[in-house]
Amino acid sequence: MEMSSQSFSVFMKFALVGAFALALSLVAQDASKPETHGINVVNMDRSLMPGDNWYLYCNGGWIKRTELPPDRARIGVFTALTDLSDKRTAALIEEIAKSNPPAGSGQRKIADLYNSYMDEAAIEAKGMAPIEPHLKAIAAISNKKELAFALGQTLRADEDALNNTNFHSPHLFGLWVAPGFNDPSHYAAYLLQGGVQLPDREYYLSDSQHMRELRSKYQTHVAAMLKLAGFSDPDARAQRIIALEHAIAEKHLSLAENDDVHKANNTWAQADFPTKAPGLDWAEYFRGAGLSKHASFIVWQPTAFAGEAALVDATPLETWKDWLAYHLIEEYAGYLPKTFADERYEFFGKALFGTPQQRPRWQRAVTVVNRLLGDDVGKIYAQRYFPPEAKAQAQAMVANIVAAFRKRIEALAWMAPSTKAEAQEKLNTLYVGIGYPETWIEYSGYQVRPDDLFGNMWRGNLFEYDRQVARLGKPVDRREWSMTPQTVNAVNLPLQNALNFPAAILQPPFFDPKAPAAANYGAIGSVIGHEISHTFDTEGSAFDSAGRVRNWWTPEDLAHFEAAAARLAAQYDAYKPFPDLSLNGKQTLAENLADVAGIAAAYDGYRASLAGKPAPEQEGFSGDQQFFIAFGQNYAAKTREAALRQQVTTDSHSPAEYRADTVRNIDAWYLSFDVKPGQMLYLAPADRVRIW
C-alpha cells in the first residue's frame, strides 16, 4: 500500500497537484532569511501545549498564514512537493520540446504528448469527431452478445489491489497484473469489481444529507453530459444510468472488505465464469478484452462478479448502451472540447471535492505526460535531481531502520520463534528501492501525435493495458517499481516483498542531506518505517518471504496482534472530524498500525545513528523533540470539507491531523514534551498501543 491518499484514481491524482506558490512555504526557503535545514520553527504554534494540541503545536503557524488556493481540494507537504516535482518536470518537458527531438525518439513522444494537451485550438476544432466512431459503435450494439464483447473491450489495467491501492474502475471490471497469490514468481491476472463513476459504493448507498445532495447534483451532471453529446431525452437516460450504477454499487464489497486478501484469493478458470457468475456472455467478454487464451484469473470479489453479471442479463440493452456511452464520454471529457471538460469539472472538481477552480492547463498536461510516459520523463528527472550522495545517505537510513526492526522483532515476548524466524527472513529478502528503478518501461509501441490528444489518451490507455496483458504468465521481476521517480509517495509491494521510495519524496522537508539526523529520521525515517512495517502487519502477515499467500503467524501471535489492533481501531473510531462523521477505525487500521510501527522504528534508528554522541539542538529543541516535530510536520495540511468527508469515507489513510497525533502511543514523546495526565492526548501507559 502507498503512503499517501490517492484512493480515487484519476481524479484524486488531478486534485493533488496545483497552485505552486502558496503551499511552497512548506518546502522552499524564504529568500530573505539565511538557509536553514531541519524542522521549520516558523510553521509551529509554540503558544500551544504539545500534549493538548500536538497537530497545531507542530503546524499552527503554517495553517494560520496559509489559504487554500481556489484550484485545490487540499494542500500539504505532499502537494507542495508534488508542485515542486511538477514544476521541475514541466521545465524538463519544455526543454525537450524546444530541442526539437528527432521523429520516433522517446523525447519526441514527450514533446508531442505535452503539446497535444496544450493545443486547445486543435481540440476545439476537432469537436466531437475523435469520440464519434466509438459512440457509433456503441449505438450499433444490437444484442447482449455484442454487448458482452463491447464490455470486454473496455477492460483496462486501471485497478491495483495492493500496491497503489485503487479499487475503483468506471468500466464493468478492472484488471490488475501482479505476481500471483499462489505463485509469486509469475504474473497473474487479477479481476476486480467496477462499473460506477462515483468513488465508492457509499456514495450510492449512504443516506446522509451530504450524499443525498451529491447524488442529486450527479443526476444533473449526467444529464448535462448526455445533452452536450447530443443525446435525446437526457434526463430520463441519466436516471436509468444512475439506477444501474446504484444496482452495481449494491453488489460491491466495501473498502474494508476489499482489504482481506484471504477472501480475495479465488482462482477461477475461464470456463468457471458462466456457472459462477451467470448472466454475462463471458466468452464474448474475454474475446473483447483480448484474453480468450488466458486460462485462469484471480477474482477479488466473487459476489460482485456474480451480481454484476446478473445485472447484465436483467437490465435492458438500451440502458447498458446509455451506460457505456456516458462512461466513455465521462472518461474522455477532459480531452474533448472545453464545454465537456468544464462540465466534468463542475461535478467531479467542484461538487465532489469542493475545489472551485481547475489547475492551470500546463500542470494538467504534466500529469498526463507522467501517467502515459512516466518512465521516460523519470529517467531524466532522476539524473538531474537525485545525486548518488543523496541515494547513499538514504540507503544508510534504511539500513538503520531495518536493523531497528530486527531488534524489535527479536525482543518481542509474544511472538513465537517460528514466526520471528519468518519475519527475519522477510527482512533478509526485502528489496528497498531508493530514488529510481533498475529497469525502465519501453514505450516504443506507443504512438503519439502532436495534434491528436484524444487519440493519444486512447492509445496510451490501450498501450498500458496491452503491456500488462503481455506480462501474464511471465517470470516476476521482484525489483520492478510501481511508481515513477517524479512521484511524491512511497509504496510497499507485498507480493514482491519490496519497497519503493521515489526521488521526488526524498526532498526537503521529508529528506534533506544537510539536515540534522533527528529531522530526517522523524520525517522520511518514519515514512520508511511505515512501509517496512507493512511487511509484518495484517497485510504483510498474509504473505511470506517469497511473496506467496501463506499465513506464517501462529494463531496465538495473531490473537495478540488482533487484540492490540482492536485497541488502535477503537482509538481512531473515537476521532470525529465532523459532528455527523467519525473515522472508521477498521477501514484505516492497517495504515494506522503502520504509522505507530513506523515512528517507533524510526526513533530507534535515529538513536542508533547518534552512536552515543549527543544530538545537536535546534532553536532550543533537543534531538528527540526535533524528531517528533519533524514527524508532526509531515502532516501539515489544509483540506476542503467535501474532500475531507470524501477521505474519511473512502480512504484507508486517516486524515493528516490524526496521523500526526499517533505520537500519543510512543513513550519517548511523553518524556520529550513532558506530557502529563489530564492533557487532551494523554494515554495511560497501558492504553498506548505497542505492537512491534
Nearer to Zn ion, 485 or 494 (CB): 494
Strands 498-502 and 491-493: antiparallel
What radius of gyration do the chain's Cα atoms show?
Answer: 25
Cα separation of 462 and 157, whole Å? 9
Q: Which residue lies nearest Zn ion, judged by its C-beta?
A: 1
* CA max distance for the chain: 77
The rounded distance, in Å, linking the Cα atoms of 23 and 206 is 34
Decide whether 526 or 571 has the Cβ nearer to Zn ion: 526
Least distance from C-beta 534 to Zn ion, angstroms? 6
Q: Which of 517, 544, 635 is nearest to 3 (CA)?
A: 635
- To Zn ion, the closest distance from the beta carbon of 530 in angstroms equals 6
**Residue number, 539 or 557, with CB nearest to Zn ion:** 539
Cβ 662 to Zn ion shortest distance, Å? 13
Please, which residue, 304 or 527, has the CB nearer to Zn ion? 527
Output the smallest distance, CB 591 to Zn ion, in A. 5
| Binding region for Zn ion (CB under 5 A) | 1, 591, 594
Residues 31/659, Cβ–Cβ less than 8 Å: no
Question: 205-209 contacts: CB < 8 A, separation 24 or more?
Answer: 205/246, 205/249, 205/250, 206/649, 208/580, 208/581
Q: Which is nearer to Zn ion, 493 or 549 (CB)?
A: 493
Closest to Zn ion by CB, 93 or 663:
663
- The DSSP symbol for 525 reads I
% helix, strand, coil for the chain, step of 5: 55, 5, 35
Residue with smaller CB distance to Zn ion, 1 or 150:
1
In 3-state terms, what secondary structure has residue 631? helix
Nearer to Zn ion by C-beta: 157 or 594? 594
User: What is the nearest approach in angstroms of Zn ion to the Cβ of residue 528?
Assistant: 11
By three-state DSSP, how is residue 76 classified?
strand
CB of 683 to Zn ion, least distance (A): 22
Cα(155)–Cα(463) distance, integer angstroms: 12
The partner residues of 433 in beta bridges, in order of sequence, read: 500
Find the length of the chain: 692
Q: Pick the closer one to Zn ion by CB: 591 or 651.
A: 591
As measured in angstroms, the least distance from the Cβ of 72 to Zn ion is: 23
Closest distance to Zn ion from the beta carbon of 264 (Å): 18
How far is 371 from 12, CA to CA, in rounded Å? 13
Q: State whether residue 8 is helix, strand or coil.
A: coil
Report whether 636 contacts 65 (CB < 8 A).
Answer: no
| Smallest separation (angstroms) from Zn ion to the CB of 164 | 11
